[in-house]
Structure 1
């Protein structure tokens, strides 16, 4: 099944950026975090939107063996089921997917809340969504403000604060299970490598809100309603003969 897109997706350019030196560092940190979160996620179908190459090893280690890829525009021809479709109009049945991975999908979506509503629609009750994004309140967010006019990837995206994404998830019917902060080093080539390890460790401990990236796992909430039989309370007539009888009322409780 293939659904063509009407516009060029930014995820093609994002996938190319992941091959750069800085992109490879980001991919390693994000993939390791996604791998840990998926290791605790079970089910039958796992769907990934956006770049399909970067998180392939993390998905291969998942306990969910049936994986569906939604590549940026055209099927990559790699092994596995691939479907092309819009992020805000997923070509998937309602209540059919156990887990969904959104790597920077909300950073580049025209309507991120519409994407989350679609995710909620296709997930089964208690299904999980894992969101990877760049934090607007960080050095990475500052770089995004300065370089957004250049149109360069990934700075051309619209970064969000994790608290904003968590609020959107709550509105869409999700409960937050976990939020991990990553990428505390500034996005400079000179700041990468072994010298960045102490900064990452200190950042997680002392200033987690300033992380350059975040990974959120949330679960689709289910409201369990158990209908009970109506309880009818019959009332006796207050007056004999043809006097008007009181109406019989009942209450139903859920």
Structure 2
């Protein structure tokens, strides 16, 4: 999606409620980030406000295909337009990385996660907000969560393990339907609590925290031995020449 569409969604009442509910799940994993280096990738600015004031540094990277908006407004810019497969960072540059509207919008999520693995510190942690394949929010295109590729929990787990991450904790958010009706918006917290208590599988997004595998396993390939028979030398007569 274009960055203008994303901005417009989060400025509407439905987007404001969605941000509040997802922030609950993020704070459950990361109550604070004091002294930590925090990086957001995708369109993370609605959620980075949780960490901007108490972290060591907090910046946002937005992919070139999406576009970038100045963030925060009224302060020096902390957002940049980047190539998401070649981040302008040294290895192990950040302690925590937040992915929002990133994996589902990316045409090569494995390459993106491997680049994130490179810039994440050995003791670092990552949170990915990913649309739930079984959720109601993915079945409508009036929100950003209805665009791109949604994932099941098994698909996310497989993707993370292929890219050298280990899932550490799971959460869900957006149990309410994506309806901008005043009654639904007022009862959003009741929907969340009921969905969490009943472990309903129809949440709009997965909130998965993963850790970096510093010593990743390498596949072992057994070398095939090709047997070559031992041959005895044989004298080959030279062809006779006639004068």
After TM superposition, is the score higher than 0.5?
yes
Q: Give the unaligned 5+ runs of structure 1.
A: 1-8, 226-254
Could you tell me whether the CA contact under 8 Å between 1:96 and 1:123 is conserved in 2?
yes
Runs of 4+ in 1 over 6 A off after TM superposition: none
Shift in Å at residue 117 of structure 1?
A: 1.0
Task: Give CA deviations for 1:174-218 in whole Å, capped at 9, x if unaligned.
Answer: 111111111111111236233343332221122432211121111
Shift in Å at residue 152 of structure 1?
A: 6.9
Partner of 1:36: 28
Partner of 2:88: 91
1:203 aligns with 2:195: yes
Tell me how many residue pairs correspond in the alignment.
Answer: 210
When normalised by structure 1's length, the TM-score is: 0.72
Could you tell me whether the CA contact under 8 Å between 1:126 and 1:221 is conserved in 2?
no
Q: Which residue of 38, 50, 61 corresponds with 1:46?
A: 38
Q: 1:40 to 1:164 in 2, by over 3 A?
A: farther
Q: 1:174 to 1:154 in 2, by over 3 A?
A: closer
Q: Secondary structure at the match of 1:83?
A: strand
Task: Give CA deviations for 1:57-108 in whole Å, capped at 9, x if unaligned.
Answer: 21236x5321122145346164354332122221211222211110121121
Q: Secondary structure at the match of 1:210?
A: coil
When normalised by structure 2's length, the TM-score is: 0.75
Shift in Å at residue 22 of structure 1?
A: 1.3
* Counterpart Cα distance in 2 of 1:56 and 1:40: 11
* Counterpart Cα distance in 2 of 1:54 and 1:204: 23
Q: Which residue of 91, 98, 119 corresponds with 1:101?
A: 98
Higher helix share: 1
Output the aligned Cα RMSD. 2.6
Q: Which residue of 210, 221, 224 corresponds with 1:218?
A: 210
